[in-house]
Chain A
Amino acid sequence: MSALLQVRGLSHHYGQRIGCQDVSFDLRPGELLCIVGESGSGKSTLLKTAAAQLAPSAGSVRYRQRDGDWLELDELSEANRRRLAREEWGFVTQNPRDGLRLNVSAGANVAERLMALGMRNYGQLRDIARGWLERVEIDPSRIDDAPTAFSGGMQQRLQIARTLVTQPRLVFMDEPTAGLDVSVQARILDLLRRLVNELGLAAVMVTHDLAVARLLAARTMVMQGGRVVETGLTDQILDDPQHPYTQLLVSSVLTT
């Protein structure tokens, strides 16, 4: 099966400091890849650079479009990059407040990305928004409430609905369950797992939680100091870690 995303030798530097360095990976359709590592290991920088939100200092990102043609992200105009992010990709931020528009209703948050794709029928937009609120387990009667009236877990589910409503082919997620209660986290992970399967999404997810990787991702990359130190099958990385840093990471997890 052919890849959907090809990342080769990707680096992003903040001045002299390394954000991420020389990272390569392939992502296939329907596949969820986790990036794990401690705070400051470069996970989020890698995610944002792969998603073309940060400019690479070196390396390349290629994306295979619906029509089968490869796009070199580097060669795209800013307008085309934005079109791609709007029409074929999605991005879920750690803090839902960064990914939502807080001054418009929940329904408008979901419908907005569809409107950006040209859908104008109000009744239809409202029906789709209501359907998606239900799908992420938010009471549809709250369609006209502002997200500021929602709990953190609800806001995160709303952001997921807003991101997935356009049926993106590729989703980038930056710690989508960090900072949430464990019960809320389980609900969101279950939701993501189901939606990824149902919609056949490809996704790259950053997490510092190895249990999340075990639950969701068949493959995992481990980062330390901006570099990938180990990559492979998630169960192999967790059951038989090879790199000293991965061994430390795995042995530091509390088991209940």
Chain B
Amino acid sequence: MTAAALSGSAIAASATSPSPMLELRGLGKSFELHHQHGARLDVLDNVELTLHASECVVLSGPSGAGKSSLLRVIYGNYRPSRGAVRVRHDGDWLDLAEATPHQVLEVRRRTLGYVSQFLRVIPRVPALDIVAEPLIEAGLSTPEARQRASALLHRLNVPERLWQLPPGTFSGGEQQRVNIARGLIVSRPLLLLDEPTASLDADNRVVVAELLEEARAAGSAVLGIFHDEDMRDRVATRLFPMRPFQIA
């Protein structure tokens, strides 16, 4: 991938006419628990959603409505039980429900980003390198990647004295900002966000909102969960209501 693609200009071209980036069709998810007497847990049924470039759709609904599960099914942490997860990857449509692991990894590397609520820390790796890593994987030189990571950590108000430390001992809010930086440092056409601002103060939420607005302006499509109403009102272009799946 070139530096131009990383800066978002490659996806900006499609931003002028909102084009679909993600299509969920008849999507369903059930868990079969073999050691709980074969219990079946239905969490999603027949979800239909189209997400366009430059829009931010926020999933709404009570706890247990399957919002996080939906993001995980799209990202591929959960295997879809029924239906299709069609993603536009390099201009072509690919159904992630049918894709090989290698294809899913390629989509995650270049097209589909996911920011969870919690940072999965890697022992001994400093915060700066955790943030820089996706850029290095995308082909940037280590010094350049570190420089961009510094700029983003700075913007998210992570104190510079922490950058060379592994984030295992950071506060929840600091870890979450490292996590957001890692998730947003490479601009991808599709972003999934699972309450990335839950433990942030108001100032830092504003920074995240601005980062998301910039990503959208560059053409990224965003699908997220935000429980904070101010945050939701600020970033959402549309709500997608969900309710707990009724078991017949």
Residues of A within 8 A of B (CB): 1, 28, 186-187, 189-190, 193, 197, 214-215, 218-219, 232-233, 235-236, 239-240, 242-244, 247-248, 251
Contacts and interface: CB of A to CB of B under 8 A. Distances in A.
Most buried by B among A187, A247, A248: A247
B76 A215 contact: no
B122 A233 contact: no
Given A239-B72, A240-B79, A233 B35 contact: no
A184 B136 CA distance: 26
A242 B78 CA distance: 10
Interface stretch (B46-54, B100-108, B173-181): B100-108
A43 B122 CA distance: 25
Contacts of A233: 76, 101, 104-105
A172 to B, nearest CB: 20
Interface string B47-83: 0000000000000000000000000100011110000
Nearest to A235: B77
Given A232-B79, A240-B78, A251-B35, 4 more contacts: A187-B124, A190-B125, A197-B136, A248-B34
Contacts of B170: none
Nearest to B73: A240
B78 A239 contact: yes
19 contacts: A186-B124, A187-B124, A190-B122, A190-B125, A197-B136, A218-B101, A219-B101, A219-B105, A233-B76, A233-B101, A233-B105, A236-B77, A236-B78, A239-B72, A239-B77, A242-B79, A244-B35, A247-B33, A247-B35
Interface string B4-45: 000000000000000000000000000111110000000000
A48 to B, nearest CB: 24
Contacts of A28: 102
Contacts of B32: 242
B159 interface: no
B123 interface: yes
A189 B166 CA distance: 15
Most buried by A among B31, B122, B123, B137: B123
Given A239-B72, A240-B31, A248-B35, A232 B122 contact: no
A135 to B, nearest CB: 15
Contacts of A215: 122
B24 to A, nearest CB: 17
B101 A232 contact: yes
A236 B79 contact: yes
B77 A247 contact: no
Contacts of A190: 122-125
A28 B109 CA distance: 16
Given A244-B35, A247-B35, A186 B123 contact: yes
Given A247-B34, A248-B35, A193 B78 contact: no
Most buried by B among A1, A236, A243, A251: A236
A186 B123 CA distance: 6
Across the A-B interface, the 8 shortest Cβ-Cβ residue pairs: A244-B34, A186-B123, A240-B78, A190-B124, A239-B77, A233-B101, A235-B77, A232-B101
Contact of B77 (A193, A240, A251): A240
A49 to B, nearest CB: 23
A126 B209 CA distance: 55
Contacts of A197: 136-137
A149 B144 CA distance: 41
Contacts of A189: 123
